[in-house]
Structure 1
Amino acid sequence: MAYRALVTGASAGLGAEFARQLAALGIDLVLVARDSARLERLAHVLRGRYGVGVEVLTADLTDEARLDAVAARLADGDAPIDILINNAGFGVYASFEESAIADERRLHELLSWVPLRLAHAAVPGMLARGQGWILNVASAAAFMPSGSYGAAKGAVVSLSRSLSTRYRRRGVRVTALCPGLIATEFHERMGEDHLPDLPAVAWADTGRVAREGLKALHRGTPVLVSDWRYRALRPIARLVPDALLERLGSTGRGVRADG
């Protein structure tokens, strides 16, 4: 049986890596992001290398009409989506007291509302078919006092846990993937001044994060903190005062974004 996955934020970074790894498993794809040219280039490569079917759906998911179009694609029973990867996101680098409120609203819409909206569109069909998989890319910041970014990602973790508990026995598995720092081109877009001054060991490998996420989704793990370094740090973080955690979290503010 051929499966089909829809990946948001698929034009670069972690989203593109999810697309490559899914294509390597023989899974057909629907790629969603704002940059149609980059999506088409990736689709061309994946079709040629892996022989899978690839659709391109250009959408700024903070635009209500385009979000509705992606939701409609997820609800299309004639070409069902078996796997939903909610990956699109961005970060607001400015501190909370200096950020533009429009940017804060867009961040929360993309990071917490969009995964809910798309999961809501996908779940009924998955339940009717008796199987489905939803991977929501959250962040290790969800477990830290890390401003509005962490607050939005915390909502994604909570939603994922709830949907996993509610629907796993009916064949739908839901996972929140919580990476730490991932080196993607988002940092280049923000400029060198916004690169966190951290050693190489602090950065997780994009390929490893995607593989761990897909394995956790297959197992039905509700929440996975990706990369052994961040899993090791999570118990220690519970013992660290919030004031220090907030300072550490602000160092990596806005450090991963795709689509």
Structure 2
Amino acid sequence: MTTTSLITGASSGLGAEFARQLAARCSDLVLVARDREALAALAAELRRAHGREVEVLVADLLEPSELDAVVARIADAEHPIELLVNNAGIGLPLAFEANDVDAEVRHGRLHNEVPLRLMHAALPGMLERGSGRIINVASVAAFIPRSTYGAVKSWVVNFSRWANGYYGPRGVTVTAVCPGYTHTNFHERLGLPPGQEGVPGWMWLDAPRVVREGLRDAARGTAVSIPSKRYKTLVGLTKFAPAGLAAKIGARGR
């Protein structure tokens, strides 16, 4: 049976990789991002490679009217969304005191308010059908002190853990996927050239692996997915790390 998945931040990075792997698994797609040209190119690629139905929804999720359009699409009972991937995100420098406070507010809204609204739109239909999956892309930063980025991702993990336990018995699972440093264009958008993030090579993951393991764990109904054994181990060790050491770990990279 054909399903439909909606992915935010789908024009590049992990969002585009989610789209490619889901299309290969016979899912139709609704791709959401700001970059019209990139979305159109990806949609054409997926239609050509997999013969899937691909809908493009150009939206800046921080603009209320455009966010409302995405909410309405998710809530459309005649064209249900079986899998919601909340992937849209931005990064800021770690020096909170030096950042523009309005930029910090937008950062918080995109990582917390936007997925909250989209999940709230998706859940009634999923619960009525007795099935559905939600994937929230978080980060291992959720477990490590890392300025406001760690704080917003911690919210994503904690809410996902609660929602999975609460809605899972009714057929709807919620999974927080928590990658470590992953090769995408995320760091380039911060203005940092590849190889200059100050992070050892062994700490880097590739996007296909992150998405593959995230989809596997979501299918299993896992509340928190941490791709790779190395990051599972690191996250486990943070529980015992002194606060000062944890803060130094969180200061690595950008």
Bin the TM-score by the shorter chain. Answer: over 0.9
Equivalent position amino acid for 1:183 in 2: H
Moved over 6 A (4+): none
Structure 2 distance, partners of 1:102, 1:203, is 31
TM-score if structure 2 supplies the norm length?
Answer: 0.96
Aligned to 1:222: 223
* Cα shift at 1:247: 2.0
Equivalent position amino acid for 1:26 in 2: C
* Cα shift at 1:94: 4.6
* Cα shift at 1:242: 1.4
Structure 1 distance, partners of 2:27, 2:43, is 13
Aligned to 1:55: 55
Number of residue pairs aligned between Structure 1 and Structure 2: 253
* Structure 2 unpaired stretches of 5+: none
* Cα shift at 1:97: 1.0
Equivalent position amino acid for 1:252 in 2: G
Aligned to 2:153: 153
Aligned to 2:204: 203
Equivalent position amino acid for 1:142 in 2: A
CA contact (8 A) 1:88 1:111 kept: yes
Aligned to 2:117: 117
Structure 2 distance, partners of 1:125, 1:40, is 28
CA contact (8 A) 1:75 1:125 kept: yes
Aligned to 2:95: 95
Equivalences for residues 133-172 of structure 1 within 5 A: 133-172=133-172
Aligned to 1:4: 4
Instruction: Tell which has more relative contact order, 1 or 2 (C-alpha 8 A, sep 6+).
Output: 1
Identity %: 51
The RMSD of aligned alpha carbons is 1.2
Structure 1 distance, partners of 2:192, 2:152, is 26
Equivalent position amino acid for 2:83 in 1: I
* Cα shift at 1:245: 1.5
* Cα shift at 1:228: 1.6
Structure 2 distance, partners of 1:252, 1:32, is 28
> Secondary structure at the residue paired with 1:174?
strand
Question: Is the deviation greater in 179-188 or in 16-25?
Answer: 179-188
Structure 2 distance, partners of 1:184, 1:68, is 28
Equivalent position amino acid for 1:135 in 2: I
> Secondary structure at the residue paired with 1:97?
helix
Equivalent position amino acid for 2:174 in 1: V
Structure 1 distance, partners of 2:221, 2:210, is 16
Aligned to 1:256: none
* Cα shift at 1:179: 0.6
Show CA shifts across 1:96-119 (max 9, x none).
111110111011101111111100
CA contact (8 A) 2:144 2:249 kept: no
Aligned to 1:22: 22
